């Protein structure tokens, strides 16, 4: 049914990681893929050639485990592992208090959870079924009034488990199928089955990342995965740092905190009043740097926006000019945020030239690769597996080249949590690196997906999305119904375009046309949501009026779904 | 099997929410419970008496839905809802790429997910089985070396689904059963079955809280639940604010940001350099305020610690003295954090007296009720349902009395996300209130638990934990093997005590005894983890040497588990 992993080809370049400064997207990708292939070859070669006892032992152990797992699967209703079968159960007289840990609650519990699973499996099945809608749209007031008995209000008294199951069905019914092959609305789309299994397990394990004590396996998985990510980025020192955080905005916030602490460690105790007036530089495309600037006490006035070219890439000369201008005014430039794959255009900032400027002025370079990912030159990197890699929300990592900064920056040494007299190596208690105290287990689903797909699997998945973006671009670029927002091929999976309704075709560019065109995308989007057939984002950007931003990160999408989107936009927009 | 909800009694006081300033725990509890009962009566009475068409319609609708749900459950293999049965499947030749969205991947996908569910159901079953261990402890290097084929390293090539299932089993095998009736190690314990179902559904829905567009139902559930929580707190104005955040530390951070923005809105644009030297006040028990102080640019030196009495409660006179001292030095007092249920002692700060001081000096009063919850007087409150209420991790809310501050403080108006020309009421796009961009759906499991238990169910659950704490206290307070850390009954479920091994009994208090006693709890804890029978926390506190801190938030725990813990500590400590 399925073959083993594809063999790696040997024709990729083999660059030394420290000298890599790809400037174009092609070289950037080439290097990233080359690096990936190289790691693949190394591991494959290693497994084929090695005869060391340890590795033999590991392979044999793994085979043994498989064997025992087979036995286990075959062993129906053994004492150790029960197999659960659903039976018809009347939930109308059962309540939450009848479930475990209630006495004799096991059977009801298993039946209830199996019933929930049935609802979820039906949802999963429909998610991938193109004959179903992406959403069944209702306005807030409609849902608040209660749709066909779906009552959102909370009450003092319990509802029966039967009603709880109905609530679960209704919650899914009135929601949005973000894994539907025709959901293109956000950067995070798709519903990965391994990731889903991982998240179900994570919920069931219900633990907390702050100490090794209560999350031993997850803490190690995080450490191993962060190291792997740093290797792929290309950082040569083994001792970098990082942590999974609740999303890219928080990862970016960590990068600013790390930079500030690195250059001005006294800020931790004395605050912003004790340091010079610091400024941060970024392009205007994502608000997370401004948000973090406000939160961390820099002030948004001190987040200086760098000009971009027509493709949405930072103009390095403008960055340098603004650094000099800030210095002349008595400010101290601290930090530059470059983006690898911007939110709207999917643009890659010229990382190498920015890195040179940062080196010249001794600034911290952070790369927000939340959407792009890959191989980079930076002091820190934000990498969101929940975007391009299709991991379930939430899954974002902040990676720092230098070890110890996160710990130094955030450590408060709470004695009640991070006791130093534990019996194990307490350096595995990672909680004091975080700005959170408790921290959700975001690692397992990602680790499990990596196990199940391998690096090559992720590579194929990303490549497929890139190919679909190219397909879309090629298909619409020369048609009168569409107009591209910028010239040239997309660098990422973002394809930005206007739909030109019949009434505006051939009309010369003027204020009237611009005003009318500005209203086209919102109208089509509203009709699209009403009909529930597909979802795609739109926004204005700088002096550009509202345009569609198509993004492809959903592994379920195929060329037919791209075709459908185009036809649907034309269908909904033909009367405008 | 199960009866309907217990009837509410009518003997509770009926206080006006605005005048409530309970000072003792008893009055505090009485008011909180009274309030709850009152709400219960109102709703019950309303349902019994009302004859309005709308409510009749709602009830009839709900009954209809139940009926149709029954039909649906009875309708095996209908076209709309399939019922899934597990069959023996060979996963050794199947890979992630064979699952949906792969063509013809449906059957494999369902079988794979059902197999995962079987693993999880077995784990759930064992979690509540007292004959199983709480954990099977291994040191980091042991797990990293690979236990019986459990290899944590990531590779380029995919693993078969069979191996993925083994990985899932192993991950649970080497983890910690935080829902085990004898796991007392953290404030968050237990594994609630409704919460688990909610979290599985949340993972499957895999969406993001930032806009109504893609999370319509969850956004409304959050709004309704936050309003309910504000009602229970007792805030009389309807227009408070709040948001669910990734944990109590972040919720506390929000409170400081809200206070700063309220008094000095210019901080958002101009940063900390433009405002006076601000100071924050808190007691020393939880590091989150210090952590937030460092992150937000106040500096930890400007987080002033207030003295506590022997029960771990803030001494109001010391707060006032320190406010005056700071003012005399030219600092501007901004914010006081009071705690309702401290982490170690479970102490309740004297909220009323602190509120009076805050009113006198015009300071923001935040109450960290992460562990305590309840009815409070404050400008903002942190309330962590993932602690005392047993909701699965993560689930924390920041509640603000005044509407609009979170939005004003954090809003950046990103045009690509929060378009103002959408067809629905965009005030439901809550993303710009958060410091995050994407935000995990933490609300659904909580909402579903509330539905399933009702307010009365949560009340019973908390009462049961309080009773168990009293049972433990009464049992050990007069025994020579134990010494209480402070006199008097516990205020919360925290019971703090030393175990006195035979060799130290009768020895007068001296440095030698103190040094020896300091090493007792870590040794017992290490032996406890090795034997895997139970888990409880310990720490030093101020001038007190290491003591055990027993906390009860696990609804699965019974008196027998408390007995077991005491016996186990005695068994492990008798040779010390």
- How many Å separate Cα A13 from the centre of its chain? 28
Q: What is the average pLDDT across A475-482?
A: 94
**Nearest-Cα residue of chain B relative to residue A36:** B156
The pLDDT tens digits of the residues spanning B3-50 come to 333 333 333 333 333 333 333 333 333 333 333 333 322 222 222 222
pLDDT at A370: 65
pLDDT at A44: 24
Please judge whether B174 and A200 are an interchain contact, meaning their C-beta atoms are less than 8 angstroms apart: no
Q: Are the beta carbons of B123 and A81 closer than 8 angstroms?
A: no
Which residue from B508, B526, B530 is spatially nearest to B576, judged by alpha carbons? B526
Task: Return the DSSP state at A9.
Answer: P
b/e per residue A168-195 (b: at least 16 CB within 10 A): bbbbbebbbbbbbbbbbbbbbbbbbbbb
Closest partner residue to A217 (CB to CB) among B175, B219, B224 is B175
Terminal alpha carbon distance of chain B: 49
Please judge whether B201 and A172 are an interchain contact, meaning their C-beta atoms are less than 8 angstroms apart: yes
Instruction: Count H helices and E strands in chain A, helices first.
Output: 16, 12
pLDDT at A201 over 50: yes
Pairs of residues, one from chain A and one from chain B, whose beta carbons lie less than 8 Å apart: 656
Which residue from A358, A140, A82, A437 is spatially nearest to B252, judged by alpha carbons? A437
Please judge whether B125 and A82 are an interchain contact, meaning their C-beta atoms are less than 8 angstroms apart: yes
Please judge whether B257 and A186 are an interchain contact, meaning their C-beta atoms are less than 8 angstroms apart: no
Which of A17-21, A355-359, A413-417, B137-141 bottoms out in mean pLDDT, i.e. has the lowest? A17-21
pLDDT at B376: 55
Which of A173-177, A255-259, B147-151, B507-511 bottoms out in mean pLDDT, i.e. has the lowest? B147-151
Please judge whether A448 and B168 are an interchain contact, meaning their C-beta atoms are less than 8 angstroms apart: yes
Burial (0-12, 13-18, 19+ Cβ within 10 Å), A115: buried
Residue A30: pLDDT band (50, 70, 90) is very low
Q: Select the residue from A34, A41, A184, A246 to test the B interface by mutation, using most B Cβ atoms within 10 A.
A: A246
**CA dihedral over A236, A238, A244, A249, signed as positive or negative:** negative
Radius of gyration of chain A (CA): 26
pLDDT at A17 over 70: no
Average pLDDT across chain B, whole number: 83
b/e per residue B102-118 (b: at least 16 CB within 10 A): beebbebbbbbbbbbbb
Average pLDDT across chain A, whole number: 83
Which residue from B147, B445, B382, B107 is spatially nearest to A168, judged by alpha carbons? B445
Nearest CA distance, B478 vs chain A (angstrom): 26
b/e per residue B472-510 (b: at least 16 CB within 10 A): bbeebeeeebbbbbeeeebbbbbbbbbbbbeebeeeeee
Closest partner residue to A97 (CB to CB) among B84, B228, B457 is B457
Please judge whether A213 and B185 are an interchain contact, meaning their C-beta atoms are less than 8 angstroms apart: yes
∠ CA(A295), CA(A247), CA(A532), 5° rounding?
A: 115
Which of A364-373, B199-208, B332-341 bottoms out in mean pLDDT, i.e. has the lowest? A364-373
Q: Give the tokens for residue A379.
A: 């002091």
Long-range interactions of B286-290: CB distance < 8 A, separation 24+: B286/A414, B286/A437, B286/B339, B286/B342, B286/B343, B286/B368, B287/A412, B287/A413, B287/A414, B287/A437, B288/A437, B288/B248, B288/B249, B288/B252, B288/B253, B288/B368, B289/B252, B289/B256, B289/B337, B289/B368, B290/A412
Q: What is the average pLDDT across A61-82?
A: 40
The CA distances from residue B461 to A409, B11, B131, B322, B445, in Å, are 39, 21, 24, 39, 17
Residue B78: pLDDT band (50, 70, 90) is very low
Q: Are the beta carbons of A197 and B113 closer than 8 angstroms?
A: yes
Q: What is the average pLDDT across A480-496?
A: 91
What stretch of H or E contains B218?
helix B216-233
Please judge whether A448 and B164 are an interchain contact, meaning their C-beta atoms are less than 8 angstroms apart: yes
Residues of chain B with pLDDT > 70, as a percent, come to 84
Q: Are the beta carbons of A454 and B155 closer than 8 angstroms?
A: yes
Please judge whether B213 and A529 are an interchain contact, meaning their C-beta atoms are less than 8 angstroms apart: yes
Q: Give the tokens for residue B382.
A: 């942190």
Which residue from A421, A10, A440, A429 is spatially nearest to A207, judged by alpha carbons? A440
Q: Give the tokens for residue B162.
A: 């069979």
**Nearest-Cα residue of chain B relative to residue A135:** B214
The pLDDT tens digits of the residues spanning B388-411 come to 888 988 899 999 988 999 988 888
Closest partner residue to B221 (CB to CB) among A152, A526, A535 is A152
Residues 6 or more apart in contact with residue A357 via CB below 8 angstroms: A316, A319, A320, A323, A336, A363
Residues 6 or more apart in contact with residue A420 via CB below 8 angstroms: A426
Please judge whether A457 and B96 are an interchain contact, meaning their C-beta atoms are less than 8 angstroms apart: yes
Closest partner residue to A271 (CB to CB) among B83, B166, B298 is B298
Q: Give the tokens for residue A268.
A: 């931790």
Please judge whether A538 and B298 are an interchain contact, meaning their C-beta atoms are less than 8 angstroms apart: no
Task: Return the DSSP state at A453.
Answer: H
Nearest CA distance, B26 vs chain A (angstrom): 22
Closest partner residue to B154 (CB to CB) among A139, A228, A291 is A228
Beta strands B332-339 and B303-305, pairing class: unpaired
Which residues does residue B526 pair with via DSSP β-bridges, in sequence order? none
pLDDT at B2 over 80: no
Higher pLDDT, A387 or B510: B510
Please judge whether A150 and B65 are an interchain contact, meaning their C-beta atoms are less than 8 angstroms apart: yes
Q: What is the average pLDDT across A102-106?
A: 93
Q: Select the residue from B12, B146, B206, B454 to test the A interface by mutation, using most A Cβ atoms within 10 A.
A: B206
Which residues does residue B176 pair with via DSSP β-bridges, in sequence order? B135
Closest partner residue to B271 (CB to CB) among A36, A298, A436 is A298
Cα B182 from Cα B560, distance rounded (Å): 10
Nearest CA distance, A364 vs chain B (angstrom): 18
pLDDT at B372: 52
Q: Select the residue from B76, B167, B204 to test the A interface by mutation, using most A Cβ atoms within 10 A.
A: B204
pLDDT at B67 over 90: no
Which of A537-541, B184-188, B460-464 bottoms out in mean pLDDT, i.e. has the lowest? B184-188
Q: How many CA atoms lie within 13 A of A467 on its CB side?
A: 10
Please judge whether B164 and A96 are an interchain contact, meaning their C-beta atoms are less than 8 angstroms apart: no
Q: Give the tokens for residue B6.
A: 């217990």
Nearest CA distance, B509 vs chain A (angstrom): 23
Contacts with B302 from chain A: Cβ below 8 Å: 270-271
Q: What is the average pLDDT across A338-355?
A: 88
Contacts with B541 from chain A: Cβ below 8 Å: 415-416
Task: Return the DSSP state at A137.
Answer: -
The pLDDT tens digits of the residues spanning B87-131 come to 889 999 999 999 999 999 999 999 999 999 999 999 999 999 999
Residue A388: pLDDT band (50, 70, 90) is confident
What stretch of H or E contains A113?
helix A106-127
ipTM of this complex: 0.83
Q: What is the average pLDDT across A373-387?
A: 76
Closest partner residue to B207 (CB to CB) among A178, A202, A214 is A178
Provide the residue count of chain B: 576
Q: Select the residue from A38, A54, A72, A100 to test the B interface by mutation, using most B Cβ atoms within 10 A.
A: A100
**Nearest-Cα residue of chain A relative to residue B275:** A273
Please judge whether B96 and A452 are an interchain contact, meaning their C-beta atoms are less than 8 angstroms apart: yes
Task: Return the DSSP state at A383.
Answer: E
Contacts with A116 from chain B: Cβ below 8 Å: 197, 200-201
Q: Are the beta carbons of B344 and B541 closer than 8 angstroms?
A: yes
Q: Are the beta carbons of B461 and B340 closer than 8 angstroms?
A: no
Q: What is the average pLDDT across A54-74?
A: 35
The pLDDT tens digits of the residues spanning A207-263 come to 999 899 999 999 999 999 999 988 888 887 678 899 999 998 999 999 999 999 999
Which residue from B480, B455, B438 is spatially nearest to B215, judged by alpha carbons? B438
Residue B370: pLDDT band (50, 70, 90) is low
Which residue from A103, A90, A547 is spatially nearest to A345, judged by alpha carbons? A547
Closest partner residue to B113 (CB to CB) among A69, A186, A193 is A193
Cα B8 from Cα B37, distance rounded (Å): 6
pLDDT at B80: 56
Closest partner residue to B168 (CB to CB) among A5, A155, A201 is A201
The pLDDT tens digits of the residues spanning B30-43 come to 333 333 333 322 22
Contacts with A413 from chain B: Cβ below 8 Å: 287
Closest partner residue to A166 (CB to CB) among B66, B93, B410 is B66
Edge-to-edge strands, sheet with B241-245: B241-245, B396-400, B380-383, B364-368, B332-339, B278-282, B303-305
Strands in B313-379 per DSSP E: 332-339, 364-368
pLDDT at A519: 97
Cα A391 from Cα A385, distance rounded (Å): 6
Contacts with A555 from chain B: Cβ below 8 Å: 101
Which residues does residue A437 pair with via DSSP β-bridges, in sequence order? none
Nearest CA distance, B437 vs chain A (angstrom): 6
Nearest CA distance, B329 vs chain A (angstrom): 15
Q: Select the residue from A94, A107, A297 to test the B interface by mutation, using most B Cβ atoms within 10 A.
A: A297
Closest partner residue to B301 (CB to CB) among A200, A269, A414 is A269
Higher pLDDT, B51 or A88: A88
Residues of chain A with pLDDT > 90, as a percent, come to 61
């Amino acid at each position: 049914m399925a073959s083993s992993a594809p063999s790696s080809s040997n024709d990729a370049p083999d660059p030394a990681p420290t000298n890599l400064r790809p400037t174009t997207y092609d070289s950037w990708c080439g290097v990233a893929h080359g690096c990936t292939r190289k790691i693949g070859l190394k591991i494959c070669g290693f497994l084929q050639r090695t005869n060391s006892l340890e590795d033999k032992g590991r392979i044999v152990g793994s085979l043994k485990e498989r064997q025992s797992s087979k036995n286990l699967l075959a062993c129906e209703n053994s004492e150790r592992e029960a197999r659960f079968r659903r039976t018809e159960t009347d939930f109308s007289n059962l309540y939450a208090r009848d479930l475990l840990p209630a006495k004799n609650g096991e059977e009801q519990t298993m039946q209830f959870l199996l019933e929930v699973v049935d609802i979820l499996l039906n949802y999963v099945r429909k998610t991938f079924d193109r004959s179903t809608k992406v959403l069944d749209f209702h306005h807030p007031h409609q849902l608040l009034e209660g749709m066909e008995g779906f009552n959102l209000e909370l009450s003092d008294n319990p509802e029966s488990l039967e009603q709880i199951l109905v609530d679960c069905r209704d919650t899914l019914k009135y929601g949005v199928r973000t894994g539907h092959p025709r959901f293109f609305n956000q950067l995070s789309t798709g519903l990965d089955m391994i990731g889903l299994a991982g998240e179900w397990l994570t919920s069931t394990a219900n633990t907390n990342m702050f100490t090794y004590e209560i999350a031993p396996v997850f803490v190690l998985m995080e450490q191993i995965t962060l190291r792997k990510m740093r290797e792929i980025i290309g950082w040569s020192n083994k001792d970098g740092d990082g942590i999974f955080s609740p999303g890219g905005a928080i990862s970016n916030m960590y990068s600013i905190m790390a930079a500030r602490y690195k250059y001005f460690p006294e800020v931790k105790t004395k605050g912003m009043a004790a340091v010079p007036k610091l400024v941060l530089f970024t392009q205007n495309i994502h608000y997370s740097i401004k948000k973090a600037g406000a939160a961390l006490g820099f002030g948004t006035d001190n987040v200086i926006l760098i000009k971009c070219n027509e493709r949405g890439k930072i103009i390095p000369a403008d960055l340098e000019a603004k650094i000099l201008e800030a210095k002349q005014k008595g400010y101290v430039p601290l930090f530059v945020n470059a983006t690898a794959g911007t939110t709207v255009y999917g643009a890659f900032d010229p990382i190498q030239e920015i890195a040179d400027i940062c080196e010249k002025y001794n600034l911290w370079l952070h790369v927000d690769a939340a959407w792009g990912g890959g191989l980079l030159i930076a002091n820190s990197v934000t990498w969101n597996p929940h975007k391009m890699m299709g991991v379930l929300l939430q899954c974002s990592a902040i990676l720092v080249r230098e070890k110890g900064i996160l710990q130094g920056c955030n450590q408060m040494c709470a004695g009640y949590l991070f006791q130093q007299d534990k019996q194990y190596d307490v350096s595995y208690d990672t909680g004091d690196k975080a700005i959170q105290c408790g921290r959700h287990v975001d690692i397992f689903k990602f680790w499990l997906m990596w196990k199940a797909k391998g690096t090559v699997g992720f590579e194929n998945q990303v490549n497929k999305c890139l190919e679909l973006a190219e397909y879309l671009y090629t298909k619409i670029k020369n048609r009168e119904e569409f107009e591209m927002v910028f010239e040239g091929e997309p660098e990422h999976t973002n394809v930005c375009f206007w739909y030109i309704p019949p009434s505006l075709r051939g009309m010369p560019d003027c204020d009237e046309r611009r005003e009318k065109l500005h209203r086209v995308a919102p109208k089509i989007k509203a009709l699209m949501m009403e009909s529930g057939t597909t979802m795609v984002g739109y926004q204005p950007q700088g002096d550009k009026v509202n345009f569609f931003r198509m993004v492809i990160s959903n592994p379920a999408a195929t060329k037919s779904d791209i075709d459908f989107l185009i036809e649907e936009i034309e269908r909904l927009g033909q009367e405008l």
